[in-house]
Structure 1
Amino acid sequence: MNLRSSLACTSSDIARWGLRSVLKRQGGVLPGRIAMKIDPELLSDLAALVDRSVVITGTNGKTTTSNLIADAVAASGATVVCNRAGNNMEPGVVGALLEARSGLKRAGGKRVGVFECDELYTVRVLPKLKPTYFVLLNLFRDQLDRYGEIDHTQDVIAHALELSPATTLIYNADDPLCAAIAARVPNASIAFGIDGATNTESDRISDSRFCSQCNAPLEYDYVQYGQLGAYHCPSCGWARPALVRRVTGVELGCDGYGFDLVFGSDSSAPAAHIATRYNGLYMVYNVAAAFFAAHELGVDTAHLQPTLDAYVPAGGRMGRWDIAGRTVEANLAKNPVGLRSPDSVH
């Protein structure tokens, strides 16, 4: 590190101490913001603190997915840094690395960074961090005053990937908006999705009705929810990409979903059975994305189910109580698709 970056790190430490010791605040973003005022390129230097990293983005599910990845990687014995509180803009990523840097420098073995990132900030984070993997969960209409229409968000994410060409994209191929990004960037990619109907199908498509290649209307064999499902274009032939990582055998029981994660495209690929205590189909996608990414990071499948069993959702997500003989569940929904997700109560 040069003098400027060293000064930025010291200033961040002082700010964090003051926030926590004097003001009794967590200070998740401000230390990173102060450090970046002194050294705007600090993230490029801090990236060297980890051996491998993964960035997670998408409209829904970022915090859950990133925390599950971090838990699974930690269970495998690696040292993990993660912006667990959901501070997902560049100062939050910088702040997480600054706070963890002493432990990362002392750590033996693997050092892994797991970072949730706001969709529009990917273009600032990816070129500096240059993560090993980039997980793209889904894209829905959200906060139109800030994000604009979805094609703008797609453009930003695609440009971010183009600026980090060595990053491998792990994307939800059931979402044509995510698949369209994979089709236009040069990055290596891994497509995942649910292989088959789940009997919870929606009869309406929310945000993507047209082919990204020729703009003709898409046709669906089935829709899981939103625009997620098995789609194809009858005009040009563009279709959901072949699934390299698959979710199969999805079943909804009284206590949540059970399903198999298949780590390959053929019938002989290794698989792991997962049982969740959550009954929203969106959680099947979140868990699948998390564990497929964790597997790429070297996590053995034996750690996956114990990680999920021990997982404690972040505040406002998937809280559950037994009241007067009934089970009440609260969840966090910030956009129309989040409210309409099947089999979930928000």
Structure 2
Amino acid sequence: MKIRHYFATAVGKTSQWLLQTFFKGGSSYPGKIALTLDPNILDYLAKDYEVIVVTGTNGKTLTTALIVKILQQEFDDVLTNPTGANMVQGIVSTFLSAHGKKGRKKFAVLEIDEASLSKVTRYIKPKLFVFTNIFRDQMDRYGEIYTTYQMILDGAAQAPEATILANGDSPIFNSKDTPNPRIYYGFNHQADHEQFAHPNTDGVLCPHCQHILHYKMITYANLGKYYCPNCDFKRPELAYQLTQLGEMTNVSSVFTVDEESYKIEVGGLYNIYNALTAAAVGQHYGVSPEKIRLGLGYDEKVFGRQEVITIGSKKCTLVLVKNPVGLNQVIDTITLSPNDFSLVCLLNANYADGIDVSWIWDGSYEHLTKRAIPQVLTGGDRREDMTFRLQVAGIAEETIHECANLDDVIAQIPQLPTEEVYILATYTAVLQLRQKLTEKGILKGGN
């Protein structure tokens, strides 16, 4: 069996080198080759690693990146899958690319798609699962939030000794017993105040008695200090807690976790959750506050997460949007901008985006009317739906220009009347836009 492991590894590494050297790509294909030669190769490749898995609806990519940055302050060998190749073959490719030295403590921090988790944990046994949140997303693929959570639990159950570090503000993460030990993080920054979630909010029924949950504090959506007035269901005790919110702008946030002050160089309350999650992982592994602060403080934007691209003379901030809760947080964040801005909305409906685009009607595009946005460009495969949604939201029809293709979008951006531009795009639209920008030399090497 060892010979099979070695042969599959050698062939996988060789194909990876060839693809990266001569074709500048191939993130998953080497893993596919290695798996064909040895279906159990992942167990062999990951055996010396402390594996941390990050999963959930929103925040996986940035949370994973922040965890990696924090652990790198303390440990020399930290492997991750930065390309977003989070299916089994992509994970195998990630391990094939490792160059860690023997004798050192080695980490693998892996972003795993919710639906793929059980496929991965069939082969590797993580030591820590990190659950960010679960919101309604791509219902044609995941179904309702309870179906998605069961997918995650099925994956975690295959590594029952692994600890689950979960968002304690999310009721669903406290709704079922698990064989895994659980610890929680969350917000504890306000005095108790009796309130309810917004009527158009998923996941606010008590899992024990189906009574509507009450809240003593709400951050957004169904996240907060919840309790059921009809039974004993309530938010669990928090092992790691955010106790104070400082200045929040559209590009940065200051906050306090367990009496330590931190700052991140991205805006939005939702990104503070991502930072809190990463800080909790750092504390779990004994990383000092000083090193956590360094890890959180890096200013390297992650793919599609408030990355800034200059097109002509315009400063364009590219933001991935994929479901109503995430979209609403993005809208809240960009409206904090002190400057006037134009808007670009790119809507696709491919498999990776979610074929059903009805989610845009649950997004609060109406909040954009708080700002006098002088011009809006719409594009993507479902640009007509996007245009109509913005018109219904109250954005003046004469300010909206529909672009037939991405070349048209890119050509129109330098003509926009403001220096600042926000581009809100679904997943495949982000990929397509970045590819076009690379072809035109605006992005170098896809970066």
TM-score range, shorter chain: 0.7 to 0.9
- Deviation string 1:245-279 (CA, Å, 9 cap, x unpaired) is 101111234463211111xxxxxxxx321022322
Name whichever of 31-40 and 187-196 sits farther off. Answer: 31-40
- Structure-1 separation of matches of 2:4 and 2:199: 54
Match among 67, 72, 83 for residue 69 of structure 1? 67
- Deviation string 1:46-101 (CA, Å, 9 cap, x unpaired) is 22131x2210001111111111111111121331111112111222211111110x
Name whichever of 106-115 and 248-257 sits farther off. Answer: 248-257
Matched, 1:196 2:189: yes
**Matches of residues 43-62 of structure 1 in structure 2 within 5 Å?**
43-50=42-49, 52-62=50-60
Identity over aligned pairs, percent: 32
- Structure-1 separation of matches of 2:241 and 2:148: 26
Following TM superposition, by how much is the alpha carbon of 1:308 offset from its aligned partner in structure 2, in angstroms? 2.0
Question: What TM-score, normalized by structure 1, do the two folds share?
Answer: 0.87
The 1:28/1:242 distance shift into structure 2, 3 A limit, reads same
Match among 306, 309, 319 for residue 318 of structure 1? 306
**Matches of residues 4-43 of structure 1 in structure 2 within 5 Å?**
4-22=4-22, 24-43=23-42
- Structure-1 separation of matches of 2:63 and 2:298: 14
The 1:214/1:37 distance shift into structure 2, 3 A limit, reads farther
**Matches of residues 66-105 of structure 1 in structure 2 within 5 Å?**
66-100=64-98, 103-104=99-100
- Structure-2 separation of matches of 1:176 and 1:206: 12
Instruction: Identify the residue that residue 331 of structure 1 maps to in structure 2.
Output: 319
Instruction: Identify the residue that residue 258 of structure 1 maps to in structure 2.
Output: 254
Matched, 1:294 2:282: yes
- Structure-2 separation of matches of 1:205 and 1:297: 38
The 1:326/1:219 distance shift into structure 2, 3 A limit, reads farther
Name whichever of 278-287 and 222-231 sits farther off. Answer: 222-231
- Deviation string 1:259-316 (CA, Å, 9 cap, x unpaired) is 1111xxxxxxxx3210223220011100010111122123222111222222412221
- Deviation string 1:189-228 (CA, Å, 9 cap, x unpaired) is 11100113499x9745522121122222212223211211
Following TM superposition, by how much is the alpha carbon of 1:108 offset from its aligned partner in structure 2, in angstroms? 4.1
User: Which structure has the larger Rg?
Assistant: 2
The 1:39/1:213 distance shift into structure 2, 3 A limit, reads farther
- 2:80/2:108 contact within 8 Å kept: yes
- Structure-1 separation of matches of 2:207 and 2:114: 19
* 2:211 maps to amino acid: A
Match among 262, 273, 281 for residue 285 of structure 1? 273
Instruction: Identify the residue that residue 240 of structure 2 maps to in structure 1.
Output: 245
- Structure-1 separation of matches of 2:211 and 2:91: 40
- 2:12/2:34 contact within 8 Å kept: yes
SS where residue 165 of structure 1 aligns? coil
Instruction: Identify the residue that residue 309 of structure 1 maps to in structure 2.
Output: 297
SS where residue 54 of structure 2 aligns? strand
Match among 329, 336, 341 for residue 341 of structure 1? 329
- Structure-1 separation of matches of 2:104 and 2:264: 31
Instruction: Identify the residue that residue 113 of structure 2 maps to in structure 1.
Output: 118
Name whichever of 327-336 and 290-299 sits farther off. Answer: 327-336
- 1:68/1:311 contact within 8 Å kept: no
- Structure-1 separation of matches of 2:199 and 2:287: 37
- Structure-1 separation of matches of 2:45 and 2:103: 17
- 1:210/1:218 contact within 8 Å kept: yes
Instruction: Identify the residue that residue 274 of structure 1 maps to in structure 2.
Output: 262
- Structure-2 separation of matches of 1:289 and 1:274: 13
- 1:191/1:244 contact within 8 Å kept: yes
Matched, 1:206 2:204: no
Instruction: Identify the residue that residue 377 of structure 2 maps to in structure 1.
Output: none
- Structure-1 separation of matches of 2:171 and 2:260: 26
SS where residue 341 of structure 1 aligns? helix
Match among 177, 190, 208 for residue 184 of structure 1? 177
Instruction: Identify the residue that residue 221 of structure 2 maps to in structure 1.
Output: 226
Match among 135, 138, 143 for residue 130 of structure 2? 135
- Structure-1 separation of matches of 2:36 and 2:231: 49
- Structure-2 separation of matches of 1:28 and 1:138: 27
Aligned residues: 330
- 2:51/2:127 contact within 8 Å kept: yes
SS where residue 331 of structure 1 aligns? strand
- 1:172/1:179 contact within 8 Å kept: no
- 2:164/2:181 contact within 8 Å kept: yes
* 2:145 maps to amino acid: I
- Structure-2 separation of matches of 1:313 and 1:49: 30
Name whichever of 167-176 and 328-337 sits farther off. Answer: 328-337
SS where residue 225 of structure 1 aligns? coil
- 1:69/1:294 contact within 8 Å kept: yes
- Structure-1 separation of matches of 2:63 and 2:293: 14
- Structure-2 separation of matches of 1:326 and 1:260: 34
SS where residue 8 of structure 2 aligns? helix
How large is the RMSD of aligned CA atoms in angstroms? 2.6
Structure number with higher relative contact order (C-alpha < 8 Å, ≥ 6 residues apart):
1
* 1:14 maps to amino acid: T
The 1:46/1:18 distance shift into structure 2, 3 A limit, reads same
